[in-house]
Chains A and B, each alone.
Chain A
Amino acid sequence: MAFAHGRPVPGVEGFYTGIVHPLSTPPQLLALLALGLLLGQYWPRKFIVAWRAFALGAIGGLIVGIAGYGHSLGERALLVIALAASLLAAIGPASVSVPGTMAGAAGFFLGMVSTPDAGPLGAMTVTVIGTYVGANLALFYASGGIGWLRDRFNKPWALIGLQVIAAWIAAISCLMLALNVVS
């Protein structure tokens, strides 16, 4: 980033690092993509309900993650959620309570695996805030993008294309989950 002045706000680098943290590993990326494809079907009204669950879950997950619990469990759980969400997106719309529950669980496990390494409290706090903002923005833009595509190209080919992409993401998630189990 090109700063006009050489003295950026202290700790701001940690914030930017935190923003991209929820997108840094395949399980995180797959879970967000799958959830975006699924929640995009409910854009914009019902999406807000699921997004609230995600935001609340992420707070819980970040607290548990900072306490040092379940990083490896979180990655596996994210792959399970990615598989379930993309399967649901490939098959068709369901009652919003199912994606809402998935979004809450995804937020929790995404927060759990996205915590920074131990360090000074101030720097960690800034990074965690960045992570929280980044995770929520990623879900918002993924779902909003899919919702926009569905509205803008409300044609059979667009809807079929999204279902096929969801099936591909489910396939990749399934393989990554198997690899995670054997590793």
Chain B
Amino acid sequence: MAAIFTAGIVAASDLRARLTSVNLPVKAGDRWGRTVQTLVRGALLVALVLVTEPALAHTESGAINSGFLSGFAHPIFGWDHVIAMVAVGLWGAFLGAPAIWLLPVVFPLVMAFGGALGILGVPIPAVEAGIAASAVVLGLLIAFKAKPPLWIAGSIVALFAIFHGHAHGTELPAAANPFAFATGFVLATGLLHLIGIGFGTLVRWPAGTYAVRAGGGAIALAGLAFLFGIA
């Protein structure tokens, strides 16, 4: 028992050391930079916990586990969703405070509204095209370094969030455990935003700005590929 306890302590110390070694290039006294760094470290820890396969003595993991995993995997294994979620975080970081946290708050809220419309059977035209268009528009806004007023940025993100939410919502009633599914996909969406924010903090340096804008261009191109059915 003591050996297992000691091994656990060693593993925890090792994990802590690895997480604290994740250092974004943050200048001294940069409060927002340190905030983003802490959020990114937290996101990595949550992602590690979620993707780690537990050692189960019994293989029947149950509806809750399968519901959570399928919900968690839904945004991650849909590349059109992934690039749009990352783009939201990326653009938020590009716009700076308070957009850096406002957009990841607005997106899940409006996405859930879109999801509710999907569950209630309210049709929205061209959902898949809307999802692909979200990647194109957000990617272009990043590539061209667009910095509109906060309410316009929030409205653009909210508009596209409805399409993403609707796509999730139509699949929700069929899930084994809708609560676990909803929890999984909301968490996955938030983590993808944080990944985008983490990458977006590179804009503090000139070379990083080019990298982020190039990332925006790549997202827009990928969105075009989804829009025209190439990918």
Q: Which residues of A contact B (CB under 8 A)?
A: 26, 87, 90, 155-157, 160-161, 163-164, 167-168, 170-179, 181-182
Contact indicator B35/A174 (Cβ below 8 Å): no
Contact indicator A157/B39 (Cβ below 8 Å): yes
Binds A, one of B5-13, B73-81, B178-186: B178-186
A161 and B43 CA atoms in complex are apart in Å by 11
Binds A, one of B21-29, B108-116, B205-213: B108-116
Interface residue from A164, A172, A176 paired with B105 (Cβ < 8 Å): A164
Minimal beta-carbon separation of A18 from chain B (angstroms): 23
Q: Which residues of B contact A (CB under 8 A)?
A: 31-32, 34-36, 38-39, 42, 101, 104-106, 108-109, 111-113, 115-117, 119-121, 169, 172-173, 178-179, 182-183, 186-187, 190
Question: With A177-B116, A179-B172 in contact, do A171 and B109 touch (Cβ < 8 Å)?
Answer: yes
Interface residue from B104, B115, B119, B182 paired with A164 (Cβ < 8 Å): B104
A26 and B63 CA atoms in complex are apart in Å by 14
Minimal beta-carbon separation of A94 from chain B (angstroms): 16
Minimal beta-carbon separation of A29 from chain B (angstroms): 9
A157 and B201 CA atoms in complex are apart in Å by 15
Contact indicator B112/A171 (Cβ below 8 Å): yes
Most interface-central of A170, A171, A172, A173 (chain B CB within 10 A): A171
How many A-B pairs have beta carbons closer than 8 Å: the answer is: 81
Contact indicator B109/A175 (Cβ below 8 Å): no
Contact indicator B172/A175 (Cβ below 8 Å): yes
Contact indicator A181/B120 (Cβ below 8 Å): yes
Minimal beta-carbon separation of A28 from chain B (angstroms): 11
Q: Which residues of B contact A157 (CB under 8 A)?
A: 34-36, 38-39
Most interface-central of A170, A179, A181 (chain B CB within 10 A): A179
Contact indicator A175/B105 (Cβ below 8 Å): no
Question: Whose C-beta in chain B lies nearest to the C-beta of A157?
Answer: B35
